[in-house]
Structure 1
């Protein structure tokens, strides 16, 4: 292992270790608060100039240019963030006031992850089986645009695509030269989302024309016509030629030469690299071996629960036979995409009737339920949620079980991602870096809500309860599969067989999920470990508070905190206990 990368792994782990120290914070703002604020205020302004994130505080901002991502720019960013880490090392968390102490712990872990990401040159691998830089770019076309300023910024962004794609291709060639690519097997067919743009008959047939199809009625017709004409020109002269070039590169050069090996630990400096991803995605310093053993133990517990539910259905047969029954009986599958979407909507509205019993504070923002875009659907997850949206994958209906829809909907919509994220964004007075998504918290919360669904009475049949348990097993098995693939030499088939034997996922879902884990090391570990942390904190609060424990106050406290590393969450619940289990929103008491 190179000394440089060993040091980087230590920096990330060290930042995480700081989080586990529940030191008493200062009760009042002092000089340390001012020094810390000066550091992150300056860095955030610089980060905006680098276009690492939108200048807007919400998710509606449309930037007029794409970030520079060439190697020289990346080197400058690495040096800058390393300097920020040194400044942060000069501040003792215990000298900060309560809120700034939390900010410090979130911020330092974030900067450490940014340093590690560039140090390992992850910008040379800007794609995986789930998403890629070109599919992320398409999200701009799906953002709501309400002003002429938005549209003109969007057109300038489209005009910047050739430069941006050229830099991505140069970076990918550098990764290819050192064997730093996703495994070849996970890239098969992923060029479909490129060809859908490159081979579009006209610019108007491209996803990038979507914002121009329904423009604000308040905008003058002459302005609309001008913007449409400029949009068509930008798509025809900048976007489509860039996708044609990228398609040729992927088909003729990148995919044929991509690495055959699966394990992250076999990448350059792989052991330290994989450990850095474990730290990033779990916010713990657990090792791959420790996580693997946790997964094996949790899977045994879930299988016992599954056996109990199978008895409730009256099915005569063992677990493999029951899983085959679930995967093949037509009663469990929607006949049309609309049926799947409507079932999702029904579950979401059913939750609305129960929400007041479990939550005190509700987000103002609602969410739409829409199908996953056709160009992404074949390789996309079964659903995905966030502020304002719950995406449901209606592709390959025989792989989308209706008995899983309650658990999926709770996870991706409310009270999961489309509920948690808006609440975090509604909190006032926090620096913008607190809106960053920390997977262990966000995915842990969403998985926790699937279990919560049983308490809420969301599962009306034993099959739906089994669907929830299958989803629990799916996430627990990720602890086994991810570490198995990236640290223990597991094959793709071995990982698929493990999911097939332990969950009710369809073969299609199993194939896409395993390819996702292969090409995105560590991300799959965040879900179950995050849920375990929340459940542990809840049980601790229930035991300590007794009759004073109010589930609404507990949930509000977790959500009001926003996305944070798991040790910070656990420390906040310790304070919740000391405060007598009070709501974080006094007006709701």
Structure 2
């Protein structure tokens, strides 16, 4: 067995539900072991593989992926995130499990649910790292909504045991009355928090940039975006006053209903698919569908997210939309989000890599700076492709740029510099056009997933730099279709490795 085989097996053993989301066979009856002993066993296994990687003769790109995946898993284990992540979507162990169970086949692992849920409760019981108190309350509300609902089809014959375990988890969570205050939202307020955050920042960005450097990068990008807002605002509304442009975007361009939001997303994806052959030499075989998040999951699900197609063809790629608060949201964010999450963003990126002959370690590596960097890169690529239907929608492109730049500021602010939750909310309110429900949802996500928000803008800027340098080296030989095929066909890799791949390609005669 190669090191790539070993690492892939270890990563999927540590997160069997990731295999389920990719439709990979072999882990259908498994769930993650959340116990301290289980985590430490995985950590030791990964550390052994990393030690042997130092003298391995695997190809350099695969080794770079192995090292990143192993180091990231160890650092996230050491940060003990499972002990204080209780509210948000897929990242909170119990709420994430209940959310995923409605979207993938869990029938063969239902007997593992009670053990997993009780392990999560045990970790909360024994920890010295308290969750945010408001997240405790949100987590209780979410699991109570599950308990108040009728048994769902996915629960099968195990409903009584699963719900009994959820009751125990709810009671354990509800017993926490001394959770962290909003003033102490970040990792820096927890034991080893400052060092853990630096490691997470390194893993999520795949760079050596410090929290201080990332914070300043966000401030600089926010400042430059104001110039673009003024330019488009002058053309569209005759005003270059950025606060006035923000006001109009927040109050005048909202959805009338959720059906409008869905239809607009479908139309944007159809346009992108029609234009894609001029920008990509290879298109994915898997289709991409737009679906609404079910009502039970809307209070904790992200506003939009992508789920990859199953490898056996049983499920297409799915662009999930959360219609919660649709009439309070700017419709200008619709097209840019569809391009990021679906076409030519994550759907092309994940599906094309999955359809190659690469080792599974390369196909399914989770390297956010590459994955989310590509998604954000395609938001601007869509402008090159002429996909935005109006200047209003191009303002939406700037809106998401500002959100991602703002993430650099507030994520580092919260976790490295001790910002309060309210200070982070106020910063996004002043510097983005996000609606209030989105701002609150985003800030709570950043609190519970430290460092992940850093990946987007860092990844996009690196991909743009790599492309620009290739264009300069190649001149008229540069083919954007070939460049895009190379980037998505290489699978998820650290950004420095992507730079090496593209440099070798562009230097070839």
TM-score (norm 1): 0.80
Paired residues of 1:198 and 1:241 also in contact (CA < 8 A)? no
CA apart distance, 1:165: 1.0
Paired residues of 1:299 and 1:477 also in contact (CA < 8 A)? yes
Q: Structure 1 pair 280/238, CA: closer, same or farther in 2 (3 Å)? A: same
Match of 2:96 among 120, 133, 136: 136
State how many pairs are aligned.
Answer: 497
1:31-70 equivalence runs, <5 A? 38-45=2-9, 52=16, 58-59=22-23, 61=25, 63-70=28-35
Q: Write the distance in 1 (CA, Å) between the matches of 2:490 and 2:407.
A: 27
SS in 1 for 2:305: strand
In structure 2, stretches of 5+ residues that fail to align are: 309-316
Deviations along 1:317-355, one digit per CA (max 9) or x if unpaired, are: 7221221122112xx222222111111101110112211
CA apart distance, 1:432: 3.4
Q: Structure 1 pair 322/57, CA: closer, same or farther in 2 (3 Å)? A: closer
Match of 2:52 among 87, 95, 101: 87
Match of 2:264 among 334, 343, 356: 343
Higher RCO (CA-CA < 8 Å; seq separation 6+) = 2
Deviates most, 50-59 or 78-87: 50-59
1:445-484 equivalence runs, <5 A? 445-484=374-413
CA apart distance, 1:109: 1.4
1:163 corresponds to? 115
Q: Write the distance in 2 (CA, Å) between the matches of 1:551 and 1:407.
A: 21
1:125-524 equivalence runs, <5 A? 125-131=84-90, 132-138=92-98, 140-143=100-103, 154-175=106-127, 178=128, 180-200=129-149, 202-203=150-151, 206=152, 209-210=153-154, 232-235=156-159, 237-251=160-174, 253-254=175-176, 256-260=177-181, 261-316=184-239, 318-329=241-252, 332-387=253-308, 388-432=317-361, 434-524=363-453
CA apart distance, 1:143: 4.4
Paired residues of 2:4 and 2:62 also in contact (CA < 8 A)? no
Q: CA RMSD in A?
A: 2.2
Q: Structure 1 pair 534/244, CA: closer, same or farther in 2 (3 Å)? A: same
SS in 2 for 1:284: coil
Q: Write the distance in 2 (CA, Å) between the matches of 1:165 and 1:302.
A: 44
SS in 1 for 2:461: helix
Paired residues of 1:492 and 1:514 also in contact (CA < 8 A)? yes
Q: Structure 1 pair 401/281, CA: closer, same or farther in 2 (3 Å)? A: same
The structure that has the greater radius of gyration is 1
In structure 1, stretches of 5+ residues that fail to align are: 1-36, 146-153, 211-230, 581-589
CA apart distance, 1:467: 0.9
1:586 corresponds to? none
The reply to whether residue 121 of structure 1 matches residue 42 of structure 2 is: no
Q: Write the distance in 1 (CA, Å) between the matches of 2:178 and 2:340.
A: 38
Deviations along 1:259-298, one digit per CA (max 9) or x if unpaired, are: 2211212211112100011011111111111111111111
Q: Write the distance in 2 (CA, Å) between the matches of 1:474 and 1:461.
A: 20
